[in-house]
């Protein structure tokens, strides 16, 4: 028997649909893990180009208890934005990452993260650096291995005085989580209050924004996510 998710409003459904569409842009066969409880649903995905965990939550009008892994594409097709609902598709065999999620509690805020504007500036700078260094390679050196070497150096750099790699912030921007303050204010949002924070729990770091979160294992964590560039 299928489970129907009724969101608190149509905006929640639209935001979830946008998130799923961005995940599918990076992996058309993407799977997502859904965990619903206490009047909200959390959707976990892993865009392969960034190798981080992306998390989008949505408020529910009708609480349900759910924990399953499904096709992101099938879930997207089931979202009815006008009605503010979605039908949970049949479960699929989950990828390995779906069994290793960040903890639900125990998060503590960490200082040292630059301002949102400074983070966006840093992302733009490293994207430009990656492009420039790749284009400067001699034709015989333009191999995947060499691009990966440059990428590992650039995208594993950390932000401010934290351990958060730049690739995590780049993933947040690419998935629509780092919207400029002026855009949020124009959309009727709280404006200046819409900042983001860095949290830590055990070996996990989590960049939380009003539109979603990016979670990554610390570089020293055994079996942590790699630093493959975006």
CATH number assigned to the domain comprising residue 77: 3.10.150
Q: Is residue 194 part of a domain?
A: yes
pLDDT band at 225; cut points 50, 70, 90: very low
Q: Is residue 16 part of a domain?
A: yes
Same domain, 79 and 145: no
Same domain, 194 and 138: yes
Task: Please give the residue that has the higher pLDDT: either 15 or 49.
Answer: 15
Same domain, 93 and 13: yes
Q: Is residue 38 part of a domain?
A: yes
Distance (Å, whole) CA 144 – CA 208? 32
Same domain, 134 and 90: no
Residue corresponding to tokens 């989590």: 206
Same domain, 117 and 93: no
Same domain, 160 and 77: no
**pLDDT, tens only, 21-30:** 999 999 999 9
Same domain, 59 and 139: no
Task: Tell me which of 99, 129, 152 is where a domain ends.
Answer: 99
Q: Is residue 138 part of a domain?
A: yes
Share the mean pLDDT of the chain: 87
**pLDDT, tens only, 157-174:** 999 999 999 999 999 999
Give the domain extent around 21.
3-99
Same domain, 84 and 118: no
Q: Is residue 225 part of a domain?
A: no
Q: What is the mean pLDDT of residues 177-198?
A: 60
Q: Is residue 224 part of a domain?
A: no
Same domain, 88 and 116: no
Q: Note the pTM of the prediction, 2 decimals.
A: 0.85
Checking if the pLDDT of 192 tops 50, the result is no
Same domain, 63 and 132: no
Task: Tell me which of 66, 99, 132 is where a domain ends.
Answer: 99
Number of domains composing the chain:
2
Same domain, 207 and 125: yes
């Amino acid at each position: 028997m299928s489970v129907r998710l009724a969101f608190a409003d149509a905006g929640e459904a639209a935001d979830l649909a946008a998130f799923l569409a961005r995940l599918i842009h990076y992996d058309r066969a993407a799977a997502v893990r859904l965990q619903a409880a206490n009047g909200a649903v959390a959707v976990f995905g892993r865009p392969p180009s960034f190798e981080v965990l992306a998390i989008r939550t949505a408020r529910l009008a009708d609480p349900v208890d759910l924990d399953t892994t499904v096709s992101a594409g099938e879930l997207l097709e089931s979202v009815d934005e006008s009605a503010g609902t979605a039908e949970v598709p049949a479960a699929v065999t989950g990828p390995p990452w779906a069994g290793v999620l960040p903890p639900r509690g125990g998060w503590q805020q960490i200082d040292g993260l630059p301002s949102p504007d400074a983070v966006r500036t840093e992302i733009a700078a490293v994207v430009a650096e990656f492009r420039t260094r790749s284009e400067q390679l001699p034709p015989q050196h333009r191999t995947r291995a060499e691009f990966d070497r440059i990428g590992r150096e650039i995208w594993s750099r950390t932000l401010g005085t934290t351990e958060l790699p730049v690739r995590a912030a780049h993933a947040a921007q690419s998935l629509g989580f780092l919207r400029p303050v002026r855009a949020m204010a124009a959309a009727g949002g709280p404006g200046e209050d819409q900042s983001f924070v860095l949290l830590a729990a055990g070996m996990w770091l989590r960049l939380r924004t009003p539109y979603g979160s990016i979670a990554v294992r610390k570089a020293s964590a055994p079996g942590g996510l790699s630093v493959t560039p975006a």
